Amino acid sequence: MLTRNEAQDVATALKEQNTSVVYTQTEQDRKLMTNLVQEMLLLDRAKALQITPGAKDIESRLDRLAIDQPKLFEVYKEDELKEQLIREFKKHHVINREVDSKIRIEAAEIELFCKQQLRKNRKVGLAQILLHGSDNEIQSKVELIRLAFESGTSFEKLAKQHSADSSAKSTGGKLGVFKPGDLLEEIREVTINLEPEQISQVVKTKLGNHLLYIYKEEFDEGLDCTSLKPDQETNYSNALYKQKRDTLLKNYMDELFACANIEIKDPGKSGLPVSTSLPLVDKVNINCQTRRMMVLPKKKEKKKAKRQQ
């Protein structure tokens, strides 16, 4: 259980964080509820797994805190700091045991990740066929263009014939060579996975409907993903680890949330968010019974040991 006062303390701490991102009230409420619920779920899981720090460990951490951040002792009582250290210990060890321990980084994965990053950062020579008209008209044009392209007609010739961009008559639809950051977001997302000499799906932007085509690509020089230097391998390994960890941690927290029975009392005039601000989680394909059984065998073993005594 979390009291209103404790929840308000967390809300105040979140508001005092220095950030350049401006959140709406709805986003702030959801962020607060996510933080509150995730902490309670991790502490509840620590209790189920019987994760408890030793007194010496907490005293040692408290001593380091006194050296590194002495001003905290002017704001908080020592017992309050101890309690927070205990909570952080429990949460860290739950995540370490049930998330971090499952992460493995293989050499082949690092090489593939390196190639993916190179691809994301490549410069592309981009061409387009700009289409205007109703949805039915555009669909008919696209079918005609694809059929001609598959029959051997060059994209350049098709752009001259079909593009609504007046300059295509002379450029063949070529727009130039671009870095990813130079492109509109909708176009950048498509070109990341678009292979050279292939026509994209129709991309809608405020400028119209586009068929995109990469006629050349340029990669960063001096980087061979099959033979990385130690510092390069370390950087890619760390980035890949973070990517995997973020995904696994989100899935783990969603799973805990989906299997929890959460009830929020009326916040009254406290200013705290209501239950509609709870995180949205897809509960499909989550077997909560399996998660509970991961802890139950230990309880059974203890009961068996007591009977033997």
Residues 42-66 pLDDT 10s: 999 999 999 999 999 999 999 999 9
- 290: pLDDT confidence band, cut at 50, 70 and 90? low
Parts of the chain belonging to CATH 3.10.50.40: 123-218
The DSSP bridge pattern shows strands 203-205 and 123-131 to be unpaired
Look at residue 301 in the predicted model and tell me its pLDDT: 53
* pLDDT tens digits for range 212-268: 999 998 887 778 899 999 999 999 999 999 999 999 999 999 889 888 888 877 777
In the predicted model, is pLDDT for residue 96 greater than 80? Answer: yes
What are the phi and psi torsion angles at 211 (to 5°)?
-105, 125
Q: How far is CA 115 from CA 140, 264, 288, in A?
A: 37, 47, 38
In the predicted model, is pLDDT for residue 147 greater than 80? Answer: yes
Look at residue 307 in the predicted model and tell me its pLDDT: 57
Q: Which residue has the higher pLDDT, 298 or 91?
A: 91
Strands (E), 194-274: 203-205, 208-218
Look at residue 120 in the predicted model and tell me its pLDDT: 82
Q: Which residue has the higher pLDDT, 143 or 30?
A: 143
Name the CATH topology of 123-218.
Chitinase A; domain 3 (3.10.50)
Q: Which residue has the higher pLDDT, 22 or 85?
A: 85
In the predicted model, is pLDDT for residue 305 greater than 70? Answer: no
Of 69, 104, 105, residue with least CA distance to 84: 69
